Structure 1
Amino acid sequence: MIEAVLFDIDDTLVDHSGAARAAVVAAFPEADAALVARRWFELEEEYYGRYLAGELGFAEQRRLRVTALAAELDLGEWAAARADAWIAAYAERYEANWRLFPDVLACLDACGLPMAVVTNSNGDFQRAKLAAVGLDGRFPVVVASEDVGVAKPDPEIFRVACRLLDVEPSRTAYVGDRLTTDALGARAAGLRGIWLDRSGAAAPDDPGVVRITTLADLAAVLDSGGPVSP
Structure 2
Amino acid sequence: MEESWIEEHGVPTIEAVLFDLDGTLLDHESAASAALAQTCGLGPDDPALPELLQVWRELEASVFGRFLAGELTFTEQRRVRVAALARHRGLGSWTDEQTDAWFAGYLQAYEAGWRAYDDVAEVVDRLVARGLKLGVVTNGQGDQQRRKLAAIGWDTLTDVVLVSGEVGVSKPDPAIFALACHRLDLPAERVLCVGDRLDLDAAAARDAGLTGVWLDRAGEGEEPGPGAGPGVPVIRGLGELPDLMLLRPPSRWLPPMTRPGR
TM-score band w.r.t. shorter chain: over 0.9
Q: 2:232 aligns with which of 191, 209, 222?
A: 209
Q: 2:202 aligns with which of 172, 177, 183?
A: 183
**Aligned to 2:246, what secondary structure does the other structure show?**
helix
- Unmatched segments (≥5 aa) in structure 2: 1-12, 249-262
2:56 matched residue in structure 1 = 40
Q: 1:68 aligns with which of 61, 66, 84?
A: 84
- Deviations 1:23-63, CA, capped at 9 Å, x for gaps: 11222235811111010000001110000001111111011
Query: What letter corresponds to residue 23 of structure 2 in structure 1?
Result: D
2:107 matched residue in structure 1 = 91
1:81 matched residue in structure 2 = 97
Two-structure CA RMSD over aligned residues (Å): 1.5
**Cα distance in 1 between the residues matched to 2:93 and 2:15:** 53
* 1:15 correspondence with 2:27: yes
1:154-165 → structure 2 map (5 Å cutoff): 154-165=173-184
1:3 matched residue in structure 2 = 15
**Aligned to 1:209, what secondary structure does the other structure show?**
coil
Contact 1:123/1:144 (<8 A) preserved? yes
**Cα distance in 1 between the residues matched to 2:241 and 2:34:** 29
Query: What letter corresponds to residue 154 of structure 1 in structure 2?
Result: D
The TM-score, its normalising length taken from structure 2, stands at: 0.82
Contact 2:31/2:110 (<8 A) preserved? yes
State, as a whole percentage, how many aligned pairs show the same letter: 48
Provide closer, same or farther for how the CA distance between residues 41 and 94 of structure 1 changes in structure 2, counting only shifts above 3 A. Answer: same
Displacement of 1:82:
1.0
Displacement of 1:21:
1.1
Greater displacement, 87-96 / 143-152: 143-152
Higher helix share: 1
Query: What letter corresponds to residue 222 of structure 1 in structure 2?
Result: M
2:5 matched residue in structure 1 = none
The TM-score, its normalising length taken from structure 1, stands at: 0.94
1:130 matched residue in structure 2 = 149
* 1:143 correspondence with 2:162: yes
1:221 matched residue in structure 2 = 244
- Unmatched segments (≥5 aa) in structure 1: 226-230
Displacement of 1:224:
5.4
**Cα distance in 1 between the residues matched to 2:245 and 2:67:** 33
Structure 1 segments (4+ residues) deviating >6 Å: none
1:167 matched residue in structure 2 = 186
- Deviations 1:41-96, CA, capped at 9 Å, x for gaps: 00001110000001111111011100110011111111101110111110000000
Q: How many residues align?
A: 225
